[in-house]
């Protein structure tokens, strides 16, 4: 297993940065482009490994998808021309590919087998398998279809009125995509709002979807038209640099063209509540999604309580928020975040173990963590757990540790941010 030495050096974070395209929006651009009729051109596509899995899955079904740098051209031929793949589909590390693709495949009259890497193989799939079975898909797999590998035969779906028991955009999206291919009207009701990129992008492709008080309704068998999609910068990637600029004294960084969809901007709200010096400017709309530039100057944050409705709006940012909390005045409590246990690693355990190993005062709870601030972090050898967000959290921590940090298994960072270390170097002075 490879290791990366992150030397403890006096640095400041300065200048301007453009983070790569949003992962959630990149996945969905490939899915809708492949279901639509005609050409779709996606610019600023994230070429992280996860999004490449989504491309490969649709190529295996006969869709022509060409990637030139960050531009992807999809020649859509409509749902009815998606073919049965010869080989099993490898979903790699990508939960989003798995849950959203399951929804699409459930609507196709073909046989599919799906598998993933060790991490994905241990993440729950029954949260989408159960409603898709209710719609008529035949799905079987390990532990009665709870886990990959899965085998399935789709087609002839009927609509469903589904109340999602988990706060998950992936589950909502999987069922809505199946609803798009089913007869009649499907509704998904969610108690807490989760990211709505599926709903937004369906409309960008000419589809119709209604959201009313947490109830999302979609009529099946709609024809979608290819279009142009510009992917905004990923706020979940930006979050690592927002925190870096806060905790490294003397820093000031502007991140340009970041997606500011309100279902994703919880990190900005958290930073503001913690009294971090943050401003958002140049707000505008590109391709149906709000974008803007965020400037952060170093400051000493204060500890806060983070729970309830905001959790899905910061779900991928909690590891880096935990690092920030180790530097805050006072105590930070994170609750209602049990979903973290079902990510690429059990992120309650991996965040707590890693930060403890670096000298933080942090403890795990059933659904979150308690972090006591004002700690000087030491250094040493810590593992990414094969989880990209843990790997990036460790790299940002190393900017303020007293000794060097050896990051074990850094390669996973390219799942969502292949140019992360290059960008870190670019803004380190």
Ligand X SMILES: C=C(OP(=O)(O)O)C(=O)O
Chain residues that interact with ligand X, rule: CB under 6 A: 23, 50, 94-96, 316, 343-344, 389, 416
For 32, the 3-state DSSP assignment is helix
133 annotated as ligand-binding: no
343 is in an annotated binding site: yes
8-state DSSP, 157: -
Q: Which two tokens stand for residue 160?
A: 């469903």
Closer residue to ligand X, CB minimum distance, 50 or 190: 50
Residue 18 in contact with residue 241, Cβ under 8 Å?
no
Q: Which of 4, 53, 195, 264 binds ligand S3P (CB under 6 A)?
A: 195
Whether residue 175 contacts residue 99, with contact meaning beta carbons closer than 8 Å, is answered with no
> Sign of the CA dihedral 263, 414, 204, 17?
positive
CB 220 within 8 A of CB 159: yes
Cβ neighbours of residue 80 closer than 8 Å, sequence gap 6 or more: none
The phi and psi torsions of 362 (rounded to 5 degrees) equal -145, 140
- Reply yes or no: is the peptide bond before residue 149 cis, omega within 30 of 0: yes
Nearer to ligand S3P, 11 or 237 (CB): 237
Which residue number has the CB closest to ligand S3P? 24
What region, left, alpha or beta, does residue 406 occupy, with left being phi > 0 and alpha being psi -120 to 50 degrees?
beta
Both tokens of 318, joined, read 């909690």
For position 169 contacting ligand S3P by CB under 6 A, the verdict is: yes
Q: Smaller CB distance to ligand S3P: residue 316 or 383?
A: 316
Report the partner that residue 22 touches, choosing among ligand S3P, ligand X, none (CB closer than 5 to 8 A by kind).
Answer: none
Among ligand X, ligand S3P, none, residue 254 binds (CB under 5-8 Å by kind): none
CA distances from 55 to 48, 51, 89, 372 (A): 11, 7, 11, 43
Cα diameter, the chain: 61
Decide which of ligand S3P, ligand X, none touches 298; Cβ closer than 5 to 8 Å per partner kind.
none
First to last CA, the chain: 30
Rg of the Cα atoms in the chain? 21
Which one, 79 or 258, has the nearer CB to ligand X? 258
Q: What whole-number distance in Å separates Cα of residue 318 and Cα of residue 316?
A: 6
List the single partner that 195 binds among ligand X, ligand S3P, none, CB under 5 to 8 Å by kind. ligand S3P
- Which residue sits closest to ligand X, CB atoms considered? 95
**Do the Cβ atoms of 379 and 372 come closer than 8 Å?**
no
CB of 143 to ligand S3P, least distance (A): 19
170 is a contact residue toward ligand S3P (CB under 6 A): yes
Query: Which strand (E) or helix (H) includes residue 262?
Result: none
Query: Toward ligand S3P, which CB reaches closer, 82 or 337?
Result: 337
- CA quadruple 133, 135, 138, 141: dihedral positive or negative? negative
Q: Is 195 annotated as a binding residue?
A: no
Q: How far is the CB of 387 from ligand X (least distance, A)?
A: 8
Q: Is 29 annotated as a binding residue?
A: no
The owner of tokens 């996945």 is: 27
Q: Is 24 in the site for ligand S3P (CB under 6 A)?
A: yes
344 binds, among ligand X, ligand S3P, none (CB under 5 to 8 A by kind): ligand X
How many Cα atoms are found within 13 Å in the side-chain-facing hemisphere of 141?
26
Residue among 168, 261, 332, 401 that touches ligand S3P (CB under 6 A) = 168
> Where in the sequence numbering do the catalytic residues fall?
316
| Residue 26 is assigned to a ligand binding site | no
Nearer to ligand X, 23 or 230 (CB): 23
CB 100 → ligand X: shortest distance, Å? Answer: 9
Judged by CB under 6 A, the stretch of 6-14, 168-176, 206-214, 255-263 that binds ligand S3P is: 168-176
Using rule CB under 6 A, residue 265 touches ligand S3P? no
Give the footprint of ligand S3P on residues 296-325 (CB under 6 A).
315-316
Binding residues for phosphoenolpyruvate: 23, 95, 123, 170, 347, 389
Binding residues: 23-24, 28, 95, 123, 168, 170, 316, 343, 347, 389
Binding residues (CB under 6 A) for ligand S3P: these are 24, 95-96, 168-170, 173, 194-195, 315-316, 339
Binding residues for 3-phosphoshikimate: 23-24, 28, 168, 170, 316, 343
């Amino acid at each position: 297993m490879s290791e990366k030495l992150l030397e403890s050096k006096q640095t400041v974070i300065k200048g301007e940065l453009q983070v790569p395209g949003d992962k959630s929006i990149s996945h969905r651009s490939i899915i809708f482009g492949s279901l639509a009729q005609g050409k779709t051109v996606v610019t600023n596509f994230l070429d992280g490994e996860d999004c490449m899995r989504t491309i490969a899955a649709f190529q295996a079904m006969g869709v022509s998808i060409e990637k030139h740098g960050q531009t992807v051209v999809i020649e859509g031929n409509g749902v009815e021309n998606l073919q049965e793949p010869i080989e099993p589909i490898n979903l790699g590390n990508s939960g989003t590919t798995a849950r959203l693709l399951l929804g699409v495949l459930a609507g196709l009259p073909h046989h599919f087998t799906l598998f993933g890497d060790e991490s994905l193989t241990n993440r729950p799939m029954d949260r989408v398998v159960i409603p898709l079975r209710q719609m008529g898909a035949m799905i079987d797999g390990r532990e009665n279809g709870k886990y990959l590998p899965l085998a399935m035969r789709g087609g002839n779906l009927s609509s469903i009125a589904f109340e999602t028991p988990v706060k998950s955009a992936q589950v909502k999206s999987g069922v809505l995509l199946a609803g798009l291919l089913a007869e009649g009207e499907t509704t998904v009701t969610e108690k807490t709002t989760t990211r709505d990129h599926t709903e937004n992008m369906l409309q960008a492709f000419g589809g119709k979807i209604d959201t009313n008080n947490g109830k999302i309704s979609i009529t099946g068998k709609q024809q979608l038209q290819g279009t142009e999609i510009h992917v905004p910068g990923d706020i979940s990637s930006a979050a690592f640099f927002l925190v870096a600029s806060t905790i490294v004294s003397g820093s000031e960084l502007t991140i340009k063209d970041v997606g500011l969809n309100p279902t994703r901007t919880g990190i900005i709200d958290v930073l503001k509540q913690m009294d971090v010096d943050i401003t958002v400017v140049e707000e505008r709309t590109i391709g149906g999604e709000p974008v803007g530039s965020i400037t952060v100057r170093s400051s000493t944050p204060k500890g806060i309580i983070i729970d309830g409705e905001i959790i899905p709006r910061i779900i991928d940012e909690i590891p880096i928020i935990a690092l920030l909390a180790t530097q805050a005045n006072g105590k930070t409590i994170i609750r209602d975040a049990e979903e973290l246990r079902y990510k690429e690693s059990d992120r309650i355990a991996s965040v707590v173990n890693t930060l403890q190993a670096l000298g933080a005062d942090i403890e795990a709870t059933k659904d979150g963590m308690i972090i006591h601030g004002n700690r000087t972090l030491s250094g040493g050898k810590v593992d990414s757990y094969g989880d990209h967000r843990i790997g990036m959290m460790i790299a940002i921590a190393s900017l303020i540790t007293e000794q060097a940090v050896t990051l074990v298994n850094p390669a996973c960072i390219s799942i969502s941010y292949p140019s992360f270390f290059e960008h870190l170097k670019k803004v380190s002075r």
